[in-house]
Structure 1
Amino acid sequence: MIKRALKQTFTLLNVDYVKLDARWNYRNVISPYFRIYYIDAGTGEIWDASAQVRLEAGFLYIIPSFTLCNLICPDYLSQYFVQFFEESSDGISLFENNRAIMKVKATDIDILNFRRLLEINPGRGINRSDDPSVYEKNVFYKEYQELNNRQSLSVFTETHGILLQLVSRFLTRETFKHMDTGQVPAKILNIISYIQLNLNRDLSVTHLAKKANLHTDYFSRLFQQHTGERPVKYVHEKRIERAQYLMLTTRLTFTEIATQTGFDNVFYFSKIFKKITGISPGTYKKQMNTIGSG
């Protein structure tokens, strides 16, 4: 009997081969989709909150969704890149505990996979503009989703298979922190899923503890023991992550986003947003206009 099943699926957004120069210099990049690079020449750098990673020829790099980073090319850099969305049956990202840049040595198969992605998905680069105020809009996400819907079953399946292969390269013990869900109480796993799927609803500790049929104090200790965070902080982080996604992909006002992510008002939303990200929603919105492609 098969006891393991992958809950995540990956949907292509963009794939391309590009040659970059010193204009590829972007700060505070954060996107609702994943990026994987294969560098074939030149050098560059990516910084996230915890480390500075050198981009160099012969290596693969992954930037998980909602990973804040800086992208820099001092002189010349050529790369294959693919951008894709993740969907999960329980709302929990495969990289839930791995929001950091990862690097692995590329293989011949990795290179062939990128070339094959380009071959079966022509015209899927960021063609209209490198300016995110142009390309990071919900209307264009829908446009690319429609392109996926038009793919033949063969191409759609092969594309997903290649994305799975590329993602799998970063799931080794050396690079990937894996939470053994077998040791996490089912009640806590159920609450994690409940939070992800109900961010706009009441997620107070009292409510969550009642949902888990546990005493509030015991629930809080148990939740922190198995997630590393207190329930309130965890909920705030997931709500702000969702807010960032909405700010990148829709034209909703801050008030509308606050409502959709479960905040009582826009002022409290702004306070928690700055506490989690270090900047205000308004500053974050402006910084989106400096996010580069690739």
Structure 2
Amino acid sequence: MNKHFLKHTFSLLNIDHVELNSRWNYKNVVSPYHRIYYIDKGEGQLSDQTKTLKLEAGYLYMIPSYTLCNLICTSYLSQYFVQFFEESADGTFMFSTVRLIAKVKAKEIDVANFQRLVEINPGRGINRSDNPSVYEKNIYYKEYQQLNNQQKFSDFLETQGILLQLLSRFTVPEMVQAKEAEAIPVKILDAMRFVFVNLHLPLTIKLLAEKVNLNPEYFSRLFETHTGTRPLAFIQEKRIERAVHIMATSQASLSEIANLTGFTSLPHFTRMFKKIIGLPPGMYRRQLQSPSVPSL
């Protein structure tokens, strides 16, 4: 018996078909949402810290949330794209263990799905700019959420179904763990939820273990067994994810962001940011504010 069950929903940001030129050249982009592209004409490049993929007609591409990447178009590129937040009741997320760009051959149903998403979600294009530093602002996220709240229930269900179909195209071994996921114990889920809500507070293994009435050493082993990471590494990763989101959607200073995400000092924040994202926070912010690069 298949014991899989769905525990994820998606909050749609943008869906559109666009034609791009050499101005679509942005590097070191990190977004708090998933992106999927279908290329129908032209070519370009998509790269992360490990590889470069050619954007070409007839293929689907995925950029998981919080994946550092570069977007390049040398002359002309025609694409469908969709951007969406992933939401989970228990705090676990798809593709969270492997943040890598991916490419798969498109099928006819994929093209039909993109066309249908555009049809049932009108007015969801990025009309202001194709520059992430322009459209990744909290005020615009709120506008998109208002559109979601106004969506007919039938269109909401269909949108969720299509996004699941598109995501299913990327459930390849290099993107997901081959081992069947076991149910995460309730106490570990409770600890994860506590982390999400209290990233700004001093968090320790001892504190989390006390919250769920477990011995700290046993809690640490149990947490790693069921999440694939140690509790402190999980906390730091979630703090940096929150920092990226704040940086993309506000003008808060690096010191303020460090404080809001629970780091004891700006140097500590800087070290962890560079370790996880691959760039110091100051450099990342400068490139976010002025992300264009010369054409290849």
Measured against the shorter chain, the TM-score band is 0.7 to 0.9
In structure 2, how many angstroms separate the alpha carbons of the residues matched to 1:26 and 1:46? Answer: 10
1:103-129 CA-partner distances (Å, limit 9, x unpaired): 221111110111111112222111012
| Structure 1 segments unaligned to the other structure (5+ residues) | none
In structure 2, distance between residues paired with 1:280 and 1:174: 27
Amino acid at match of 2:101: I
Greater Cα shift, 230-239 or 174-183: 174-183
Q: Quick one: structure 1 residues 221 and 176, their matched pair in 2 at CA, closer, same or farther if it must change by over 3 Å?
A: closer
Q: Which TM-score applies when normalising by structure 1?
A: 0.87
- Listed as ranges, the matches of 1:254-269 within 5 Å are 254-269=254-269
Alignment partner, residue 8 of structure 2: 8
d(CA) in 2 for partners of 1:251, 1:179: 42
Residues in 1 aligned to 2:23 and 2:133: alpha-carbon distance in whole angstroms: 17
Q: 1:177 offset after TM fit, Å?
A: 2.2
Q: Is the 8 A contact 1:131 1:290 kept in 2?
A: no
String of CA shifts for 1:119-168, please: whole Å, max 9, x gaps.
12222111012233332111111111112222222222222221122112
Q: Are 1:97 and 1:178, in contact at CA under 8 Å, matched by a contact in 2?
A: no
Corresponding position of 1:112:
112
Supply the AA of the counterpart residue of 2:42: G
Partner of 2:79: 79
Distance 1:185 1:145, change over 3 A: closer
1:1-294 equivalences under 5 Å are: 4-173=4-173, 175-177=175-177, 180-182=180-182, 187-291=187-291
Alignment CA distance shift 1:279-1:21 (3 Å): same
Shift of 1:272: 2.4
Count of aligned pairs: 292
Closer, same or farther: CA 95–175 of 1 in aligned 2, 3 Å: closer
Aligned with 1:32: secondary structure?
A: coil
Unaligned 5+ residue runs, structure 2?
A: none
Rounded Cα–Cα distance in structure 2 between residues aligned with 1:144 and 1:92:
23
Letter in 2 for 1:289: Q
SS in 1 for 2:182: helix
Quote how far apart the aligned CAs of 1:65 are.
0.7
Cα pair distance change 1:52/1:216, threshold 3 Å: same
Q: For 1:197 and 1:107, locate their aligned partners in 2 and report how far apart those are by CA, in whole Å.
A: 40
| Aligned-CA RMSD value | 2.6
Q: Report the Cα distance in structure 2 between the residues aligned to 1:274 and 1:103, rounded to whole angstroms.
A: 27
* Percent of aligned positions that are identical: 56
Q: Give the CA deviation at 1:201.
A: 2.9
Distance 2:77 2:205 in 1: 48
Q: TM-score, normalised by structure 2?
A: 0.87
Q: Is the 8 A contact 1:44 1:72 kept in 2?
A: yes
Residue type matched to 1:286 in 2? R
Equivalent-residue separation in structure 1 for 2:160 and 2:291 (angstroms): 26
The residue matched to 1:96 in structure 2 has which SS?
Answer: coil
